[in-house]
Amino acid sequence: MALEDVYQRNVHHRGHRAGWLRAAVLGANDGLVSTASLMIGITAAKIGGAESQSFLVTAGAAGIVAGAMSMAVGEYVSVRSQNDIEESDRLLEMEHLKVDPEAELIELQHIYIERGLTPELAMQVATAMHARDPLEAHLRDELGQFDQSKARPVQAAVASAAAFTLGGLIPFLGAFAPTTGQVAVSIVGFAIIGLVITGVASARTAGSKILAPTLRVILGGCIGMAITAGIGQALHLSGI
């Protein structure tokens, strides 16, 4: 098979899919399940009497904002610390290569031996790598830093807050849907529709089969909603 065909085939490898897509789907799913659970918990607790609709909507909005902020901060901190770790690894590796290039060469040789090369071949490869770009070889083969482009913390924070908000808006809008019976029914209905969307999207980004992962997402979300509904109910019955 020609090299061109191999490249073409590799386009379909899911590993090449940007991690942000997966993060976005997860964030949306987070927003969906937590907002739906929060609102259903409140309806089950039957708080607020006549103002219950406005209380419910306020709580839903507050939950979305709070969750989005928490996602943004968490994402920012995590990306920053990941970048810091990679940066200090890089500096340390540069130092090692400067101080003791011989030992670093042997280190690289051993890495290639562990990956299945004979000692002779491993030394040849390590020597060739050191001749070209020793730092890059150590970062990649010793520390597993493949992507030299750093993730950007602010973009990551904004993206995950936006994804959470988008997901949270689905059950939130359910509270405004015309309903024949209880508002909880339309919140659950909207949430399930949303879970189908995020379930299919997450299965597609993972490149897996659609049905089983989607059912897992729906089931997981429903369990979350059922638990908070149960807690809300219990709080209502206990008169808190």
Interface with Zn ion (CB under 5 A): 104, 107, 138, 142
Distance (Å, whole) CA 210 – CA 200: 6
- Tell me the closest approach of the beta carbon of residue 116 to Zn ion, in angstroms: 19
According to DSSP H, which parts of 148-210 are helical? Answer: 153-174, 183-206
Distance (Å, whole) CA 176 – CA 144: 49
CB atoms within 10 A of CB 151: 16
Distance (Å, whole) CA 220 – CA 175: 21
- Tell me the closest approach of the beta carbon of residue 140 to Zn ion, in angstroms: 11
Nearer to Zn ion, 143 or 226 (CB): 143
Nearer to Zn ion, 44 or 137 (CB): 137
Mention every residue, 6+ apart, whose C-beta is less than 8 A from residue 143: 86, 89, 93
Nearer to Zn ion, 3 or 99 (CB): 99
Nearer to Zn ion, 142 or 162 (CB): 142
- Tell me the closest approach of the beta carbon of residue 80 to Zn ion, in angstroms: 25
Shortest-Cβ-distance residue relative to Zn ion: 138
- Tell me the closest approach of the beta carbon of residue 139 to Zn ion, in angstroms: 9
According to DSSP H, which parts of the chain are helical? Answer: 3-10, 19-45, 52-99, 101-114, 119-132, 134-141, 153-174, 183-206, 211-237
Q: Please tell me whether residue 118 adopts helix, strand or coil conformation.
A: coil
- Tell me the closest approach of the beta carbon of residue 111 to Zn ion, in angstroms: 9
Distance (Å, whole) CA 16 – CA 107: 29
Q: What are phi and psi of 94, to 5 degrees?
A: -60, -45
Nearer to Zn ion, 130 or 138 (CB): 138
Cα separation values, 124 from 16, 194, 224, Å: 30, 55, 56
- Tell me the closest approach of the beta carbon of residue 66 to Zn ion, in angstroms: 44
**Entry field: residues in the chain:** 240
Distance (Å, whole) CA 187 – CA 180: 13
Nearer to Zn ion, 123 or 229 (CB): 123
Nearer to Zn ion, 22 or 140 (CB): 140
